[in-house]
Amino acid sequence: MSDPVIAKTGPYVVELEPGDYFWCACGKSAKQPFCDGSHKGSDFAPVKFTLTEKKKVGLCGCKHTNNQPFCDGTHKSLI
């Protein structure tokens, strides 16, 4: 599997309503941090996550987190 594109060297902090979301795992989406289908034809697939209440979250921008889709600070070791 190839490495994802680092879209941002830090988290995307967003406040989201309850519902289903698809986090971009490849780093190529123009709608970061969410999937826009740019992964098609690659080894990557979006990561679905569900929120049951309105919540502010930090979604991984470097795409190397070990806690997909949430930032775990891995970007600090990539810089």
**pLDDT tens digits, one per residue of 46-71:** 999 999 999 999 999 999 999 999 99
- Calpha distance 63→25 (Å, rounded): 6
pLDDT for 1 equals: 66
Domain residue limits, the chain: 17-77
pLDDT for 2 equals: 87
pLDDT for 72 equals: 98
Residue type, 57: V
- Calpha distance 39→35 (Å, rounded): 8
β-pairing, 55-59 vs 19-23, is unpaired
For 57, phi and psi rounded to 5 degrees? -130, 155
Going by pLDDT thresholds of 50, 70 and 90, the confidence category of residue 35 is very high
- Calpha distance 16→68 (Å, rounded): 16
